[in-house]
C-alpha cells in the first residue's frame, strides 16, 4: 500500500472504516447503460425530491461528505462549485447527496447540512439528505466523490470518480483530469460519453453499520 493511501486511510477513519474500492452495496440496481434507479428522498429544505421530476434533463448525482478530505479538496480548489455553476447554465440538474446515517459522526440534520454545503461554496440544484442510505445503496455509491450521470432518457451514462487525481491536495485537484466535466461536455455536444466508467476514490460513505 503506498504512502498516499496510508495517509488517506488515516484521514478517513473518522468518517467510516475503509477507503478506495469499498464493497458495492449488495442491493445496488445501477449500471451504465441501464435505467437509473428511481428514488424519493428529502432535500435540505425537507422537500421530497424524485428522479422523475427531472425527466428529460441530464442529472448529476454527486455523493459527498462533511468530513472527507478528498471531498473538501474538491471544494477548496473551487472545482466543484465552478462545475456546478457551468452545469446549471447547460440546463443540467446537479444533486449533491449526503448518505451519512444518523448514528454516524458526520451526519448533519438538513438545516445544518445546508449551512455546511453553502459554507463550502456548494451551489447544487438540490442537496439530498439520504439518511437511510436507500438512495446510495440503490446506486452502489461507495465513496465521497462517487459520481453518476443520468442522461435525458433516464439511462445511466457515467459512473465513477470525479477525476483522476485521487488527491486531498486542492492544487493537485486543479491539475487532474475531470472525468465528470468531460462526460458532461460530451452530452452537451450530443455525443456518446467517451469514458463512461472510472474508479471511484475517497472516504467510504457512512452508511449504517
How far, in Å, are 7, 74, 88, 189 from residue 173 at the CA level? 17, 7, 21, 25
CATH number for the domain that contains residue 10: 3.40.30.10
In-domain check, residue 160: yes
The pLDDT of residue 22 is: 38
pLDDT tens, residue by residue, 70-86? 999 999 999 999 999 99
pLDDT < 50 stretches in the chain? 1-11, 13-26
In-domain check, residue 103: yes
In-domain check, residue 31: yes
The pLDDT of residue 194 is: 96
The answer to whether residues 55 and 184 touch, using CB atoms and an 8 Å cutoff, is no
Angle at 125 between CA 114 and CA 77, to 5 degrees: 70
In-domain check, residue 196: no
The pLDDT of residue 12 is: 57
In-domain check, residue 116: yes
In-domain check, residue 209: no
Nearest to 43, CA basis, from 160, 171, 135, 105: 135
Residue 69 makes CB contacts below 8 A (sequence gap 6+) with 8, 11, 12, 168, 203
List the domain range (segments joined by +) for residue 128. 3-188
- Total number of domains in the chain: 1
Residue 109 makes CB contacts below 8 A (sequence gap 6+) with none
Share of the chain above pLDDT 70, in %: 87
The pLDDT of residue 44 is: 98
Amino acid at each position: 500500500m503506498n504512502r498516499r493511501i496510508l495517509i488517506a486511510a488515516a484521514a478517513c477513519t473518522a468518517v467510516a472504516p475503509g477507503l478506495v474500492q469499498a464493497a458495492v452495496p449488495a442491493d445496488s440496481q445501477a449500471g451504465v447503460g441501464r435505467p437509473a434507479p428511481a428514488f424519493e428522498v428529502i432535500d435540505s429544505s425537507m422537500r421530497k425530491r424524485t428522479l422523475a421530476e427531472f425527466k428529460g434533463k441530464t442529472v448529476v448525482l454527486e455523493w459527498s461528505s462533511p468530513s472527507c478530505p478528498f471531498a473538501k479538496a474538491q471544494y477548496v480548489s473551487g472545482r466543484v462549485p465552478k462545475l456546478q455553476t457551468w452545469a446549471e447554465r447547460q440546463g443540467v440538474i446537479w444533486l449533491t447527496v449526503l448518505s451519512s446515517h444518523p448514528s454516524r459522526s458526520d451526519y448533519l440534520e438538513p438545516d445544518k447540512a445546508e449551512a455546511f454545503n453553502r459554507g463550502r461554496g456548494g451551489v447544487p440544484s438540490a442537496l439530498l439528505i439520504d439518511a437511510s442510505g436507500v438512495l446510495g445503496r440503490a446506486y452502489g455509491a461507495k465513496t465521497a466523490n462517487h459520481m453518476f450521470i443520468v442522461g435525458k432518457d433516464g439511462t445511466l451514462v457515467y459512473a465513477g470518480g470525479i477525476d483522476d487525481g485521487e488527491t486531498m491536495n486542492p492544487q493537485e485537484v486543479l491539475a487532474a483530469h475531470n472525468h465528470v466535466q468531460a462526460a458532461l461536455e460530451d452530452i452537451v455536444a450530443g455525443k456518446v460519453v467517451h469514458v463512461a466508467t472510472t474508479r471511484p476514490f475517497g472516504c467510504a460513505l457512512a452508511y449504517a453499520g
